[in-house]
Amino acid sequence: MAAVTETLETVDALAAQKYKYGFETNIAMDEFPKGLNENIVKLISAKKNEPEWLLAWRLKAYALWRSMEEPDWARIKHPPIDYENLYYYAAPSGPEPKSLDEVDPELIKMYDKLGIPLNERAALAGVDSPNVAVDAVFDSVSVATTFRETLSKAGVIFCPISEAVREHPDLVKEYLGSVVSIGDNYFSALNSAVFSDGSFVYIPKGVRCPMELSTYFRINARNTGQFERTLIIAAEGASVSYLEGCTAPMRDENQLHAAVVELVALDDAKIKYSTVQNWYPGDAEGKGGIYNFVTKRGNCKGKNSKISWTQVETGSAITWKYPSCILKGDNSVGEFYSVALTHNYQQADTGTKMIHIGKNTTSTIISKGISAGHSNNTYRGLVKILPGASGARNFTQCDSLLIGDQCGAHTVPYIESRNMSAKVEHEATTSKIAEDQLFYCRSRGLSEEDAVGLIVNGFCKDVLKELPMEFAVEAQKLLAVSLEGSVG
């Protein structure tokens, strides 16, 4: 036990080395007045020159949201969120940039600092991530989308969703809200009313997207909520791999992030969606940090389609998200691979829902929770087999790793099967980093923090191997660093 105590001390000492992405960018911003009412919704819509139908959609969502209560079933605690004290729109001032040349150099500098090259030439020349197209979302707006020409040659549409509303209204109208309805939950209703930007992806029939697509979210402005909306559609036989990364400056007050992500896979289409979430987690006393209330859902609409969620969640004061799959098409496949790491006073309540509707649908859930410090980490999952889902199969594995004796790990699996031919398996383990494991590593020359990093990365291996290569390396480092401060 002494070794563990010592580990935690080491971890705390390293935590003081601080969140690397916690800098603030000083840039002229347009903000609407604080608080939320119909006028703000109208202002956002007007700012974006939106068509009438979308304004009506937003207002409907706003009315619904007003009638709803914040959900209270998750194992998280926080002071009430004052929705009237938030800014719902913040954007770098001036007209929207038409090309990269018009983007404020301060912003380009900031993204460089974060390791996200917005300059295509630099990206092409660099070895960092030469084959990733990036859509960068800064507070409420998309500031730049790279490699658009290369992509459009392949017929791929990758652009800010505000632009898609103007340029591809039929697609947006058909699919927006088709997977996560506006009234799905409190936060999806809020997002539907005030979403300001996000990414739109359309992969046409039979096209394999020629490069990884990526969105990089950054909350910068104070007291500002970020409500982005992502919509990805893979038409028949199309496939795409999409990456999402996030950071925010360090601030004493909590900031709200309530995103909605919708994925639609038609017949034989494949979507792989990977997230490395590193929002500011708050300090060692639990002050500040992002409240991350996110709704992510994919619809395997067509037969033989596949949607795969991989997430590495190390940031945020609170994480509330359940990337899910609706397995509607026969033989469709849903996957959820998750690492959630909490330290200090972080709280994570995360998991997935796999809804089996079509015949011979299969789902796999691998969840790894790591808790340290005073944190609480909950896996919450639903596997639902509807009567028509003959031959459906699910495999679920939930493993929890505890560091220290002040943290909590909880597993809340729900299984509802209404088809006798379905097979559902659930395995769960809880373990601690054992003193003998640490000693074994140290006797071989590893420092204590390297030993913890190695053991935790080993624990997460089944999930990390699902990430695209560049991300896997990043995630491994992130785990080790968060561990130092966090693993937890």
- If the CB atoms of residues 223 and 437 are measured against another protein, the closer one turns out to be 437
Contacts of 237 (CB under 8 A, 6+ apart): 205, 206, 267, 268, 269
Tell me the closest approach of the beta carbon of residue 427 to another protein, in angstroms: 14
Contacts of 127 (CB under 8 A, 6+ apart): none
- If the CB atoms of residues 172 and 402 are measured against another protein, the closer one turns out to be 402
Nearest CA among 219, 239, 202, 200 for reference residue 86:
219
Nearest CA among 421, 399, 298 for reference residue 341:
399
Nearest CA among 209, 330, 203, 211 for reference residue 267:
330
What are the start-end ranges of the E strands in 146-301? Answer: 157-160, 199-203, 212-218, 229-234, 239-247, 254-257, 260-265, 270-277, 289-300
d(CA 53, CA 90): 23
- If the CB atoms of residues 66 and 477 are measured against another protein, the closer one turns out to be 477
d(CA 386, CA 302): 17
- If the CB atoms of residues 299 and 367 are measured against another protein, the closer one turns out to be 367
3-class secondary structure, 450:
helix
Q: Residue 25: CA atoms inside 13 Å, Cβ hemisphere, count?
A: 24
H-type alpha helices, 272-391? none
Tell me the closest approach of the beta carbon of residue 457 to another protein, in angstroms: 7
Tell me the closest approach of the beta carbon of residue 381 to another protein, in angstroms: 21
For residue 422, CA distances in Å to 110, 332, 427 come to: 51, 14, 17
Q: Which pairing describes strands 199-203 and 157-160: parallel, antiparallel, or unpaired?
A: antiparallel
What are the start-end ranges of the E strands in 148-253? Answer: 157-160, 199-203, 212-218, 229-234, 239-247
* Other beta carbons less than 10 A from residue 458's beta carbon: 12
Tell me the closest approach of the beta carbon of residue 399 to another protein, in angstroms: 9
* Residue 197 β-bridge partners: 228
> If phi over 0 gives left and psi between -120 and 50 gives alpha, with beta otherwise, what is residue 18?
left
Tell me the closest approach of the beta carbon of residue 443 to another protein, in angstroms: 5
- If the CB atoms of residues 110 and 403 are measured against another protein, the closer one turns out to be 403
- If the CB atoms of residues 224 and 476 are measured against another protein, the closer one turns out to be 476
3-class secondary structure, 444:
coil
- If the CB atoms of residues 15 and 463 are measured against another protein, the closer one turns out to be 463
Residues lying near another protein in the complex (CB under 8 A)? 2-3, 434-437, 439-448, 450, 454-455, 457-462
Tell me the closest approach of the beta carbon of residue 432 to another protein, in angstroms: 13
Tell me the closest approach of the beta carbon of residue 322 to another protein, in angstroms: 25
Tell me the closest approach of the beta carbon of residue 456 to another protein, in angstroms: 9
- If the CB atoms of residues 23 and 439 are measured against another protein, the closer one turns out to be 439
Tell me the closest approach of the beta carbon of residue 459 to another protein, in angstroms: 6
Tell me the closest approach of the beta carbon of residue 295 to another protein, in angstroms: 31
- If the CB atoms of residues 342 and 457 are measured against another protein, the closer one turns out to be 457
d(CA 306, CA 122): 34
- If the CB atoms of residues 248 and 433 are measured against another protein, the closer one turns out to be 433
